[in-house]
A and B are shown apart, each in its own frame.
Chain A
Amino acid sequence: MTFTFVAVAYITALILTALLIFFAIWHIIAFDELKNDHKNPIEQCKSLNPLIIPEYGTHIFINFLFLFGGEWLTLFFNMPLIAYHINKFRIRPVMSGFGVYDPTTIMNAQILNLAQREGWIKLGFYMITFFYYLYCMIAELIRE
């Protein structure tokens, strides 16, 4: 049992994905609160927007690890989400800070529903990848 770079990458990915799962849950809760009239959209966007860069960054960082480790299949699985993140950040509304949620449009039912769906899909995706990374990590560790 040796800690190869790939094994370390998967272990890191595992920990970070757990973090991402928390992000996704937080996201879902936040939008649910918005929809059910509990929170002010300005406050909510203020708390959500600072999380965007850490989340996207973490995800991309994991994939850099896979890139250097040569885990092409894993990287391939993650490509769509990376593309989605980049695109979302590219077309974000004009704002001075980093963030994608605009309190003036967030209450638009279409955007709200989209954001909610995004949260659930991401949660599912991170869960699946979490177990996939776990499997890959164990496989990598016991291969020797």
Chain B
Amino acid sequence: MTTIRPSNSSSFPDKMVNPVFPPMSHSIGNGIRPPTFPPNVTPSNSSQVNASIFPPMMHTSNINPTQTPALANVLNTKINPAVSLPTPYNPTLQPPHLFSSNATSTPPLSNVYSTTMNSTPLAYVGNTNVNSSAPPLNTYNTSQISSLPTPPNIYSPVSNHPAIRPMYPTSSYLPHPQVSQQQSQAPSASYPNPQYNFNSNSAAAGHPGQSMPYGIGGNAVGTTNQQTNNNLNAPLSNNDMVDLLKEKSVINPFAEEPPMSPFLSEENQQMNCSPEVMRCSLNVIPQTKELLNKSRLPLGILIHPFKDLESLNVIQGTKIVRCDSCKSYINPFITFLDNTRWRCSICYRVNDLPQEFLFDPVTKTYGDPSRRPEVRFGTVEYTATADYMARPPQPAMYLFLLDVSHNAIQTGYLQSFCDILSECLNGLPGDARTKIGFITYDSRIHYYDLSDRQNGLFRVIIAPDLDSKPEDFLPMPDGLMVTLCECRLIVETFLNELPKIYQDNNETDSALGAALQIAGKLLDQTGGRITVVQTRIPNVNPGALHELISTGGHATKEPTIIGPTSDYYKKLSLDYASVQIACDLFLLNSHHIDLATLSCIAKYSGGEVKYYPGFHSVQKPHEVERFENDFRRYLQRKIGFEAVMRLRSPPAMAIQTFHGNGFVRSVDLLVLPNVNPDAAFGMQVTIEDSLAHYTSVTFQAALLYTSSKSERRIRVHTLSLPVSSNLTEICSNADQEAIISIIAKMAADRSMTSSIQEARDAMSNVACDILKACLSNNLSNRAFSLLVPYSLRLIPLYMLSMIKSTAFRAGGAPKVDDRAYYLDLCKTLPTQYLIQILYPDLYPIHTIEDKSQIIQDGEDELHIPQRVHLSYQNIDSHGAYILDSSEHIYVYIGKAISDHFVQNVFNVETFSALPLDSYSLPELENPLSMKIHNFLSYLIQSRPHGVAIHIMREDSSNRQLFTRHLIDDKSESTMSYVEFLRYIREQIVK
């Protein structure tokens, strides 16, 4: 969850992070271009790691001239397996020590070293060394040329090592002693020898450790392990077919992994940015539009551009190299024609390479452009120059708009809000210029002058006359937004006093519309972030909305219009977007609030909407906790101001539609007044021309933003995918989760423009079409089976769950607000959380001790039970279950649960002694309780947002909250999963 940044020291090369990271051979590119630039080729990562760490050992080896070549080789074979890695690693590389050890080294030691080197018989240094038997000084020189880093440079990697280490599980190089041979091969750019020998073996050996260049947010070690295990557990590969009618359990017992395109070399996959940041619904792009239509699969890119990354390469101070024609940034998939030119991977234009680019910041040498981080990593961040600014970077500005009407005071949120804000004041991202301000409103607007530092007091100013355009009234422009570091004490006093001021407020109206206009006025010179906490529908003009009095928020029949009922908030939002203001909404309503209309204020200004229906500080402790955790995260997470994001795609492709909160400024440009790490975007892409002359296509998303430290930065994500004309290949490499995510976005649009019924119909048609398209390839067995590629096996299940989800379902008449909220989520949530909302994870926890996957994390053991299908078949009244739907976790206790379990987990004697509903799990000192606790906290930590935990007995009146998620089963108006499959089959055969 934290972003590990490189140390921001002053000199440029130190800022190039990751000196231990090896360059990769990008010349293998997408398989398009031959290696045109031989010296680029450094075979593997770990080899580079070693190369930079080991070179002194080569020097040591040189002082061993007495050995005959033959002997060296013999020794080599014998000793090599015995080389204990700790020895090579032990050198914490004290250079004087090593050099002095050259002179005094004892034969056995030097033997070990020489073997490591000689084991590659063709290695250049080794050969020189052995054959030439030149005077030591001479050999020393040779090896110095061939060894990459000069001694002083060796140390920077080592010192930086701990910071980057998490990305490299030690295991990755430990089992491969032969990797150390690579030291002698480490190429320098000027290296003249063409018969340069590669040890492909060690190149491959370098990969496992790097297979996850970006650990999944939060718990890196655990997840990595889990994924490794996952691979082992996965019974089927992408190419296999699954018969859905026979296969009972299609979901993966552990987390679903995004499929990797098999046509990309392993190195290319690593150069692509992480699938969590950017993924495409098809991992093999169809060659023509006709083929895409034939596959019936949606083509779209899902981007989570500002996701918190474990490590990020920040490139500072150099000229940013971009293509002259398409303006894309240099990336790992370009080709270097020679040292002065490169070919763009998006538009294939040949561009000049500036001289600075040849400088390798790690080694401080010139000559080899392939070592630059820009061409090694799919995700890099640049610090931008003044060319990328329309105005000086803005300071961080935070304005809070609080509802203090009677209704709001009743919910008691103000206390939580003030407590958490004063607790997080230090954590607010920003610098010395950061400003903060507050406005509260009921039927009037209340301003707070926090600038009186002498007395440490604040003043409340109440707008006098509401009837005559309150939005024009700005009592004093200066004291309302105050510099946080200067006026911290007053702000703290204010936050202490605020809940007391309004505890007896009887004013029930809410003038949100006017407050938003005033907020816009306050920030229009600078831009910034407006945070609104609203508990009731605004009912004072401007911006008054109508309550649904007749139905009390419950639509009796399906609402025909779920779109906004007024464009007041949309227009305001567009005004905000043009002056770089974003607005985030926290809705804590217990009655209808017209979320569909209010959310427009966030939708087009790049904000987000958080929704806590029925929030009450006493009655709903779990919702309060969710709000508090969300709000804490909200205040402390990174923020980017005045941002724009552009997606560049090959000229033969075009972006059709953007999904997500932001304003589409032009065909490929999204304006995001604020960007936050939890916002995701989707783009539907069309193929306009044939891609026949492409072997791969590259998409590049560039996010230009102002950091909270007032620095202009560009974050660039690049994704390259192969092109194919084979339908089977396309289908078997589809990314089903991404497909579902794209379809959800399209369906949300459809239900806005036409109706939800139509969206549902469209979804089941899409499911039929997709399966039909991939079935038509293998007509061999048609009777009583539904053979689909493994990579599309979840489509029917997820599609059914989407049809039954709160956003789209027909029966059960969800509140209009709930529906609007979940429709919004379809468009804005990152794929993994969206899938979790559509098809929650169900884990049986009564068997956690026998049937789980165990992950070791240092001392701790984490037991992860296997996921099961959401069906009553899997629910046993003897069991206990955890259902995780991203925002809520339900713990469901069957009524015939063993007393042993209840005693160990809940510390009560029998099931009947349990409360019907409770909101926290006692922490007890026994293995079962600890395992469940560990697992629960693992679940909670696996997401950035807060979560509400609700523990319920089987006979609780709230059990419907749990049972409505059992999607595989039949309900009054909907099909069961098996019925749905049969329905699809009928449609296909028809």
Contact = CB atoms under 8 A, between A and B. Distances in A.
Interface stretch (B93-101, B246-254, B650-658, B937-945): B650-658
A57 B571 CA distance: 26
Contacts of B669: 37
A41 interface: yes
Contacts of B664: 41, 104, 107-108
Interface in A1-47: 34-35, 37, 40-42
Given A37-B667, A107-B658, A110-B657, A94 B686 contact: no
Interface in B558-587: 563-568, 570-571, 574, 578
Contact of A107 (B564, B570, B666, B686): B666
Given A42-B574, A109-B655, A96 B567 contact: yes
Contacts of B603: 104
Contacts, number: 50
B656 A108 contact: yes
B663 interface: yes
A95 B658 CA distance: 21
A96 B568 CA distance: 8
Interface in A26-76: 34-35, 37, 40-42
A37 B666 contact: yes
A110 B658 CA distance: 11
B971 to A, nearest CB: 33
Contacts of A124: none
A112 B564 CA distance: 22
Contacts of B666: 34, 37, 41, 107
B469 interface: no
Which of B568, B654, B667 has most A Cβ within 10 Å? B667
Contacts of B568: 96
Contacts of A110: 656-657
Given A95-B567, A96-B567, A104 B657 contact: no
A42 B686 CA distance: 25
A121 B163 CA distance: 63
B665 interface: yes
Nearest to A104: B604
Contacts of A103: 574, 663
Contact of A42 (B578, B654, B667): B578
Nearest to A39: B666
Nearest to A43: B578
Contacts of B654: 109
B735 to A, nearest CB: 22
A45 to B, nearest CB: 10
Chain A interface extent, by class: 10 to 19
A137 to B, nearest CB: 42
A139 to B, nearest CB: 45
Contact of A94 (B567, B655, B657, B665): B567
A96 B665 contact: no
B564 A104 contact: no
A42 B573 CA distance: 12
B570 A104 contact: yes
B785 to A, nearest CB: 37
A109 B666 CA distance: 10
A16 B667 CA distance: 34
A31 to B, nearest CB: 12
B567 A35 contact: no
Given A94-B565, A94-B566, A96-B567, A109 B578 contact: no
B872 to A, nearest CB: 42
A12 B210 CA distance: 76
A136 to B, nearest CB: 40
B665 A41 contact: yes
Contact of B657 (A34, A96, A109): A109
Which of A37, A41, A103 has most B Cβ within 10 Å? A103
Nearest to B684: A109
Interface in B122-141: none
Interface in B627-670: 654-658, 663-667, 669
Given A37-B666, A107-B665, A109-B657, 7 more contacts: A35-B667, A41-B666, A96-B566, A103-B663, A104-B574, A109-B656, A110-B657
Interface of A: 34-35, 37, 40-42, 93-96, 103-104, 107-110, 112
Per CB-CB distance, the 10 closest pairs between chain A and chain B, nearest first, are: A107-B664, A109-B656, A95-B567, A37-B666, A108-B657, A94-B567, A96-B567, A104-B604, A94-B564, A42-B574
